Amino acid sequence: MGQAASTLDFRQRARRRLPHFLFEYIDGGSYAETTLRRNVADLEKVMLRQRVLRDVGSIALSTTLFGQRMALPVALAPIGLAGLNARRGEVQAARAAADAGVPFCLSTVSACPLAEVRRGTDQPFWFQLYMIRDRAFMADLLGEAKAAGCSALVFTVDMPVPGSRYRDYRAGLAGAAGRVGALRRAWQALRRPRWMWDVGVHGRPHQLGNVAPVLGKNTGLEDFFAWMRNNFDPTVTWRDLDFVRRNWDGPLIIKGILDAEDAREAAALGADGIVVSNHGGRQLDGVPSSAAALPAIAAAVGERITVLADGGVRSGLDVVRMLALGAHGVLLGRAWAYALAADGEAGVRRMLALVEAEMRVAMALTGCTDLSAVTRDILVNGAAVAETGFDPL
């Protein structure tokens, strides 16, 4: 196969190169995956106004978010277990993002710990936090993030309990406990010799670096999922932002907002930004797509705090669509996970280059020469979006 031309190409390569259980973990959503499909389908329905005979000989894509100058209005979203997609995968992705001039966000449940990622790149990166019952451990983890020079904290709030993801059970990542589950995954890994050599043999140690102090070493994936079920805190409320703020004095971004009232609450409590997100369709199935929820949320708080969005973004064209719907920036999730699994650091670099090129084409053909022009005015139904919000149906 030749050089990847789109995220779909990376997805097909990832399917061929990853053990089945890991590909299904990346690719799947919760329950019947209705919201997962909506995320993509609703973005595809966003119609842009094609404008002609405009001087688009020079197009500027840079922006500043949370005090950080970025070459593109995108960041690599936090993805759990991403380091298993390629050898020490989060380090590779962080290097690719730094070279492209965009932020990388490390998940709490990454394979590579904060210190390792910091050693792997000379640029600051973001850190994503889940609320864990053990507040002392959380305080220590935030201290590590500050010591690693993380420039922003992404606090994910839409996972008080893990979603029910059928594909993980069917593929043997969850549910098949003990020796049976381990043998099933081992067989799948052996059928992917390139991955087995790169990650299984040379990618050690195989542990979740940031939570290893509480999870322990030499634990299996069943132990990890059991730990998540037992230690993610379903009692967390807005009051717990006080704890986060006491232990973190940098930019704070609340991820997992789908309702305008929650967005207003985040702004009122001093968040610097929010991410309009349904966790990639991996939590509550049947909720609106991020694209459908975004306009009303942006209208509610977009002048007060920075609004980011993710979900269903598979191209630079989709980035432009999200910006036109009201986002100030966009998080790329599965796009970089597929690319990392397909071709490692080079794949992530290629993916970001494709996104940039696709953004330039989309902006040129809508008559936009800089990001300030990418507003609802470039939407075919821009006036309706302004008045009633986006209705993809």
At 349, phi and psi to the nearest 5? -60, -45
Q: How far apart are CA 365 and CA 57, in angstroms?
A: 11
Strands, E, within the chain: which ranges?
A: 63-65, 68-70, 74-76, 105-106, 126-129, 152-156, 252-257, 273-276, 306-309, 329-332
Residues in the chain: 393
For the record, the structure tokens of 368 come out as 């936009």
Report the DSSP pairing between strands 306-309 and 68-70: unpaired
Q: Determine the Cα angle at 343 with ends 340 and 347, to 5°.
A: 65
Partnered with residue 74 across adjacent β-strands are 330
Q: Determine the Cα angle at 6 with ends 166 and 84, to 5°.
A: 50
For the record, the structure tokens of 197 come out as 């050599």
Q: What is the CA radius of gyration of the chain?
A: 20
For the record, the structure tokens of 187 come out as 């067989």
Q: Are 320 and 48 within 8 A, CB to CB?
A: yes
Partnered with residue 255 across adjacent β-strands are 156, 275
Q: Determine the Cα angle at 115 with ends 153 and 27, to 5°.
A: 65
Of 20, 202, 206, 279, the catalytic one is 279
Q: How far apart are CA 131 and CA 318, in angstroms?
A: 30
CA atoms within 13 A on the CB side of 342: 27
Which residues, at least 6 apart from 140, have a Cβ–Cβ distance to it below 8 Å? Answer: 213
Active site residue 279: yes
For the record, the structure tokens of 69 come out as 């100058």
CA atoms within 13 A on the CB side of 11: 13
Which residues, at least 6 apart from 158, have a Cβ–Cβ distance to it below 8 Å? Answer: 255, 256, 258, 277, 278, 279, 283, 284
Which residues are known catalytic residues?
A: 279
